[in-house]
């Protein structure tokens, strides 16, 4: 699963810590999601998308051939 | 943005304070049991003395795990699995070495130190993996 978290965060000029605080997760979690090392569960994915005022499909993109997790 | 409240800021201090107290009680109980001259009922009380503080420690750890986000829960789960399996492996190997008369009887305290060390290793590996 790919995501546009880094790009969206840069557009908003937010730091990883600020995004983490808004969503109620650790900065480590934001780093792992941004680097594609960790795919969040649905509730967290929705919270992240809502933080940017986007739908989940605008932030997370499912790839059919992608491995489950790196 | 959320700011940590006073209670959550106190939690790390509470954990370490209880850990120190629990460890001190553990050590004191072990030392008392090593001394002769106490009646059997007193020795039983000494043996059970560490339970309350360790139960408080357990409750604090469970609360902290429940307060973690899903990512950190996964990291700590991997660390715990690493610690559990490597400690089990170490204990089994030690038991075999003991049967082979290569080493003396295992000190249980060493197993706990090993588990803490393996937990640290497992945590470092998991953090590095997801970085």
Q: Which domains does chain A have, with CATH numbers?
A: 2-56 (1.10.260.40)
Domain that residue B2 falls in: 1-67
Which of B17, B39, B67 delimits the end of a domain? B67
Structural domain count of chain B = 2
Residues B80 and B125 in one domain: yes
Beta-carbon separation of B71 and A22 below 8 A: no
The pLDDT score that the predictor gives to residue B107 is 84
Q: What is the ipTM of this complex?
A: 0.85
Q: How confident is the model at residue A67 (pLDDT cuts 50, 70, 90)?
A: low
Residues B1 and B57 in one domain: yes
Residues of B with CB under 8 A from a CB of A: 1-3, 68-72, 74-75, 127, 129-131
Whether B100 shows a pLDDT value over 50: the answer reads: yes
Contacts of A25 in chain B (CB under 8 A): 69-71
Residues B62 and B88 in one domain: no
Q: Which of A5, A19, A38 has the highest number of chain B CBs within 10 A, making it the mutation to test binding with B? A: A38
> Alpha carbon B23 to chain centroid distance?
10
Whether B79 shows a pLDDT value over 70: the answer reads: yes
pLDDT digits (tens, 9 = 90+) for A2-53: 999 999 999 999 999 999 999 999 999 999 999 999 999 999 999 999 999 9
Q: Which residue does chain A place closest to B131, by CA atoms?
A: A32
Greater pLDDT, A67 or A44: A44
Whether B51 shows a pLDDT value over 80: the answer reads: yes
Mean pLDDT value across residues B15-31:
93
Residues B86 and B114 in one domain: yes
Contact (CB, 8 A) for A20 and A27: yes
Residues B59 and B117 in one domain: no
Contact (CB, 8 A) for A17 and A27: yes
pLDDT digits (tens, 9 = 90+) for A46-57: 999 999 999 999
Query: Chain B contact for A33, CB < 8 A?
Result: yes
The pLDDT score that the predictor gives to residue B9 is 57
Residues B26 and B53 in one domain: yes
DSSP symbols for A11-56: HHT--HHHHHHHHT--HHHHHHHHTTS-PPPHHHHHHHHHHTT--H
The pLDDT score that the predictor gives to residue A69 is 58
Residues B7 and B62 in one domain: yes
Contact (CB, 8 A) for B82 and B118: yes
Residues B50 and B91 in one domain: no
Residues B61 and B82 in one domain: no
CA proximity to A59, closest of A21, A13, A11, A22: A11
The pLDDT score that the predictor gives to residue B41 is 93
Residue A19's DSSP bridge partners are: none
The pLDDT score that the predictor gives to residue B106 is 84
Which of B44, B67, B90 delimits the end of a domain? B67
């Amino acid at each position: 699963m790919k995501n546009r978290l880094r790009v969206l965060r840069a557009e908003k000029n937010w730091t990883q810590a600020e995004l983490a605080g808004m969503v109620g997760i650790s900065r480590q979690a934001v780093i792992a999601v941004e680097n594609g090392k960790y795919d969040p569960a649905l509730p967290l994915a929705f919270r992240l998308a809502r933080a940017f005022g986007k739908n989940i499909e605008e932030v997370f993109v499912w790839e059919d051939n992608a491995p489950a997790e790196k | 943005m959320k700011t940590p409240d006073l209670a959550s800021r106190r939690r790390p201090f509470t954990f370490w304070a209880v850990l120190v107290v629990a460890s001190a009680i553990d050590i004191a109980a072990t030392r008392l049991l090593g001394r002769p001259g106490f009646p059997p009922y007193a020795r039983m009380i000494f043996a059970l003395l560490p339970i309350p503080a360790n139960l408080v420690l357990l409750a604090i750890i469970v609360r902290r795990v429940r307060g973690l986000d899903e990512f950190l829960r996964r990291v700590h789960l991997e660390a715990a699995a690493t610690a559990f399996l490597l400690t089990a492996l170490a204990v089994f190997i030690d038991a075999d070495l003991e049967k082979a008369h290569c080493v003396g009887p295992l000190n249980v305290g060493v197993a706990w130190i090993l588990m803490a060390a393996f937990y640290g290793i497992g945590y470092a590996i998991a953090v590095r993996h997801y970085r």
